[in-house]
Structure 1
């Protein structure tokens, strides 16, 4: 399909915005983590992990699509297709779970009754359970992506390619296609990918974010009733935690809209492209735009709610203006 100049300009802008924005989040928040000598803020470490996963997806996937859309033919050979398909599945699935991890951590923080345990006599650093959780996300998703390293190749369309387009995580690109031994094995991998790496974390992040909002509401009612909170350290930080909950809610909504728009557009194209080719091809552009929306706009949302990012942007704007 021929790409219009307007679409290329919009998509290029979103990709650049995502690359620059997530790099800024990693640099600003990561620099503060390295500079602080005391206990490491766990929330900042999770933000850096989410921004890193966004950046990796954008560099390994969306940047190549921009090059392809601008007219340069990018077709990979068999070995490179196997490698890149595995990397795409790994990064995309890890990105989904990294986004959920932010909601889960905030919900667990609000549910904590006692103050967080800090390592007074040991070396300062992030809590071991947090490091274990982040390592678990990347390692388990790498194991799950092993079929992508094996059952993929370059070439023409096969019987499982259209099926794989159903899932945004396993969507093939740049001439690479799936090459499972049978349609049933391809169906099993696509279905499990949709359920485990897309539907499940989206449902969990919605539930945990709703739980955070309800917990904050209950804390607010308790504070107004007692007008003090000596036994609950989290209650004293209601304004800050409420802002954090709003930012996480905005990220979750943005992620769901981005994922849903991409999946619905591609599926509608698959099942209706025979009826009206001109109208259904436009859905591929919609899928591309919606698929990059979260990666491009999530740094903007974080900049609104994160104090250090806001201060950095104000400093940059003051120098430019």
Structure 2
């Protein structure tokens, strides 16, 4: 792998403006730090109480991990490229990186849907058990199986990306745009399918399997969750004086969780929609707005990763407590430094 300075193309000059780079760097850093914080705080709670299976926390850690992997393996490298440093990989490394990009992006989409599906299933059961009902501590086997299925199936799907990729050069352009992977060549890596039809088939299947279907399922399960909450709320009002209080007392907490998941779904759909519309318009209507479409697609791809930890912090008690503790200590430190400066 060699690092060389190459003349910037017209598109790269548009994407290298100081304002855009600063904004994109902030989003990438926010995504890296925020998702690392979710993994650390929520994961620490799971490790500290290994005998308790908080299925929702496990799913949150999985989603944050997939977000972080996408950001580290793709978006962080885009920052380096936008700053004018062109890194070109050899053929084997290009195959590896293209496969990784398809794998983690596809797994990220399905991991986000898994959160919505889990909450819908939770509402159907009204009061799910906190630990394994068979006396074996740990998360349910169905949950672990579902997460393993997401990562393994998407790894199998990404095999063509590992095979049909190659290294290009500074003048390489991308005529086939894969929604789930990339909006332009990165690190000198380009697609090398045997024919245009096979490449189009892979791109189309990527669009359907890892974009359209998860989005539709996410919308359906989220609507089902809202309807279930409405039905449970009606039952709660009708049973205030009955002996069912332990069951219906979960409804306010589940309503808060539903709002958080709804916000995540809306954020994901907006982020996805911006990227897909921009990329497809770029593919079929290249013109004077090309550079701005690439910027919109890039920002759309990072928006969900950057802002989802903030949404989670609003609805997750442990994250709120941790952030409040950091804020309190920071204010106390600033006051101490200010007092010391005045006394000095």
CA positional deviation for 1:162: 2.4
Corresponding residue of 1:250: 263
> Which of these residues, 286, 290, 306, is aligned with residue 296 of structure 2?
286
Equivalent pair of 2:42/2:61 in contact (CA under 8 Å): yes
Deviation at 1:155, TM superposition (A): 1.6
Alignment match, 1:307: 317
Aligned to 2:35: 22
1:215–1:66 CA distance, 2 compared to 1 (3 A): same
**1:119-163 Cα deviation digits (max 9, x unpaired):** 36644111111000000000000000000000111226889x423
Distance in 2, Cα, partners of 1:4 & 1:234: 56
Q: How many Å separate the matches in 2 of 1:38 and 1:229?
A: 33
Deviations 1:35-87 (A, max 9, x none): 11432100000000000000000000000000111111122221111000000
SS at 1:255's partner residue?
A: helix
Deviation at 1:171, TM superposition (A): 4.4
SS in 1 for 2:85: coil
Give the equivalent residue in structure 2 for 1:35: 48
Counterpart in the other structure of 1:206: 219
Unpaired segments ≥5 residues, structure 2: 1-11, 332-344
Q: Which residue of the partner structure matches residue 4 of structure 2? A: none
The number of equivalent residue pairs is 316
Q: 1:151-179 CA distances to partner (integer Å, 9 max, x unpaired)?
A: 111226889x42324x1435453121111
Assess, with a 3 A threshold, how the Cα gap between structure 1 residues 236 and 269 changes in structure 2: closer, same or farther. same
CA shift, 1:24, in A, is 0.2
The residue that corresponds to 2:116 in the other structure is 103
The structure 2 residue matched to 1:191, chosen from 201, 204, 210, is: 204
**Shift in CA distance, 171/285, structure 1 to aligned 2, threshold 3 Å:** closer
Q: Which has the larger radius of gyration?
A: 2
> Which of 66, 69, 78 is the equivalent residue of 1:56?
69
Structure 2 residue matching 1:73: 3-state secondary structure: strand
Listed one character per residue, the Cα deviations across residues 227-253 of structure 1 (whole Å, up to 9, x for unaligned) are: 256458653211100010000000001
Q: Distance between the aligned counterparts of 1:98 and 1:234, measured in 2?
A: 29
Q: Distance in 1 between matches of 2:184 and 2:290?
A: 19
**Which residue, out of 165, 169, 186, partners 2:181?**
169
After superposition, the Cα gap between the structure-2 partners of 1:187 and 1:110, relative to the gap in structure 1 and judged at 3 Å, is same
The TM-score with structure 1 as length reference comes to 0.93
Displacement of 1:184 in angstroms is: 1.1
Unaligned stretches of 5+ residues in structure 1? none
Q: Tell me the secondary structure at the aligned position of residue 216 of structure 1.
A: helix
Given that 1:158 and 1:179 are in contact with CA atoms closer than 8 Å, whether structure 2 keeps it comes out as no
TM-score w.r.t. structure 2 length?
Answer: 0.87
Residues 1:114 and 1:287: Cα distance change in structure 2 (over 3 Å):
closer
State how far apart, in whole Å, the 1-side matches of 2:275 and 2:320 are.
30
Q: Distance in 1 between matches of 2:274 and 2:230?
A: 31
Contact between 1:26 and 1:52, CA under 8 Å: does it hold in 2? yes
Spell out the pairing of 1:40-119 with structure 2 (5 A cutoff).
Answer: 40-112=53-125, 115-116=128-129, 118-119=131-132
Aligned equivalents of 1:13, 1:177: Cα separation in 2: 28
Corresponding residue for 2:8?
A: none
Q: Aligned pair in 2 of structure 1 residues 39, 213: CA closer, same or farther (>3 Å)?
A: same
**Alpha-carbon RMSD:** 1.9
Partner of 1:268: 281
Change (3 A) 1:234 1:287: farther
Q: Distance in 1 between matches of 2:247 and 2:64?
A: 26
The answer to whether the aligner puts 1:153 opposite 2:166 as a matched pair is yes
